[in-house]
Amino acid sequence: LTAPVEGIITDRFDLKKGCFGVKIAAAAADRIAAVDNGTVVQSSWSPDNGCTIVIQHARNLISIYKNLSQSLVAIGQTIRSGELIGYNAEAENGEVKLFEFELWNNGKPVDPERYIVF
C-alpha cells in the first residue's frame, strides 16, 4: 500500500483512546491519494469530518479518508493505487483540521502503520 499523503503523524492508532487510525499534519490543500486499487463505497460530507471517502479494496480491506476539503470521486467509481481522490482540508476560522486515515480489515480497525510506511 502507498501513503495517502506526505506529512507528520500527530496521533497514532490506539483503540483504548478511540483512535481508529492516524492523524497526519500535511500541507493545506495537499493531494490525497488512494492507498490501493479499489471501489469507492462512500463519498460524503459532514460538519465533524468534512469530506469523507471510503474505498473497498481486495482481501476485505477498507480505507477511510477524513477531513478533506474536496472529494474528486463518486460512489461506485473504480480507483487505482496512487490516484488523486481529493484534497486535504485548509484551516477554517483559524482551526486546522488534521487529515485522518483509517484502515479496516474484516470489519475491524487495524494499525495503518503496519501496512504503510508514512
Could you tell me the pTM of the whole model?
Answer: 0.95
Per DSSP, 113 falls in state G
In the chain (118 residues long), the average pLDDT of successive 10-residue segments reads 96 96 93 98 94 97 96 98 94 79 97 96
The pLDDT of residue 91: 73
Could you read off the pLDDT of 21-45 as tens digits, one per residue? 999 999 888 999 999 999 999 999 9
Q: Is 114 helix (H, G, I), strand (E, B) or coil?
A: helix
Per residue in 48-80, is it b (16+ CB within 10 Å) or e — as a string? ebbbbbbbebeeebbbbbbbbbebbbeeeeebe
Strands 50-56 and 61-71, by their bridges, are antiparallel
Distance CA 96, CA 90 (A): 7
